[in-house]
Structure 1
Amino acid sequence: MNNFDSLKWNLLNWSIRFLFPHINHISTEELAIWLSDKNKRQPLILDARNKIEYAISHLQGASLIPYDSPEIKYFIKCSLNTPIITYCSIGYRSAILAQRLQKMGYTKVFNLKGSLFFWFSENRPVFCGEEIVSYIHPFNLFWSLWL
């Protein structure tokens, strides 16, 4: 990663932390290590994007719960202390979802820093169903510049 890329990701992550100061965050590296440790309780992974984005590709095992779903409590069937990871394209929508989950009483909620775009930029796997794919949905033209 070049200096400009590092700067833009650092600025983006700082902005999201500033806007959502009470949200816990997890790095892509920390999540990859967690997922590879089958002896550790695995998190519930929630994709906060929309159906079209999710259908193109997502993290393995992720469930789609758009950040603006009116009644997310009906979609989540787990205890309040289950570890939950939220992600979207860059981390903003997933921070909103994480904040909503915390307000509902979930205690172990983490927003993925850099979300799917950063995960993908590190050549980590993304899936369409059970198949690894080599593309992700850019959301729109502006955000495609981050890929």
Structure 2
Amino acid sequence: MRAVKIISPAGIFLAGLLAFSGAAAQDSITNSRYARMLERLLSHDVPEINVPSVASLENPIFLDTRSGEEFAVSHLEGAVWAGYKEFSLERLNHIPKDRPMVVYCSVGYRSEKVTALLQEAGFQNTYNLYGGIFEWVNQGKPVVDRNGPTGRVHGYNWFWGRWLTKGEVVY
């Protein structure tokens, strides 16, 4: 006996929407070399959102999956620090599972992994910020530290920090 999987029209629509949103996210990167690197680096197996599309989300939570040191240098305003090595779902128990969540790191690699964990845990509206905080800053969006707006961004290391074209890279 063979099992047959039936996909409803709604399922086909949602699959197409997910594929389209990923393609749109990838098309939004300002540096073509950075875009090519991201295309190869990421697995693209979670929903991705580009920097301009974040504005279309209603009251999203920003989840920073970088190290505490990186977060202290700068982060998106209102972001919740979750870490990567230190990541724990228990710290997010207060967040409704249907609330839009934009997960980010430097370029999108660590946040892609955490986004997958969030989806497995039942968070329904999670998006990996395509290009990460680097692309956020490259597109002129603000970042803050504990004192307010800043132009500084932690570059992780030289190899990754070179993808920042705006702001002051610190290590």
TM superposition score normalised by structure 1? 0.84
Q: Which residue does 2:13 correspond to in 1?
A: none
CA contact 1:84–1:108 (8 Å) conserved in 2: yes
CA contact 1:60–1:130 (8 Å) conserved in 2: no
Q: Which residue does 1:13 correspond to in 2?
A: 38
Moved over 6 A (4+): none
CA contact 1:24–1:111 (8 Å) conserved in 2: yes
Distance 1:47 1:141 in 2: 20
Q: How many residues align?
A: 134
Q: 1:28 aligns with which of 51, 54, 59?
A: 51
Q: Which has the larger radius of gyration?
A: 2
SS in 2 for 1:111: strand
Q: Which residue does 1:47 correspond to in 2?
A: 64
SS in 1 for 2:31: helix
Deviation at 1:20, TM superposition (A): 3.7
> What percentage of residue pairs aligned between the two structures are identical?
28
Q: Which residue does 1:74 correspond to in 2?
A: 90
Deviation at 1:16, TM superposition (A): 4.5
Distance 1:24 1:15 in 2: 16
Q: Which residue does 2:104 correspond to in 1?
A: 87
Q: Which residue does 1:100 correspond to in 2?
A: 117
Deviates more, 1:92-101 or 1:127-136: 127-136
SS in 1 for 2:152: coil
Unaligned segments of structure 1, at least 5 residues: 35-39
Q: Which residue does 1:146 correspond to in 2?
A: 163
Unaligned segments of structure 2, at least 5 residues: 1-29, 165-171
Correspondence 1:120 to 2:137: yes
Distance 1:141 1:6 in 2: 17
Q: Which residue does 1:136 correspond to in 2?
A: 153
Structure having greater relative contact order (Cα 8 Å, sep ≥ 6): 1
Deviation at 1:8, TM superposition (A): 1.7
CA contact 1:60–1:126 (8 Å) conserved in 2: yes
Distance 2:59 2:146 in 1: 19
TM superposition score normalised by structure 2? 0.73
Q: Which residue does 1:37 correspond to in 2?
A: none
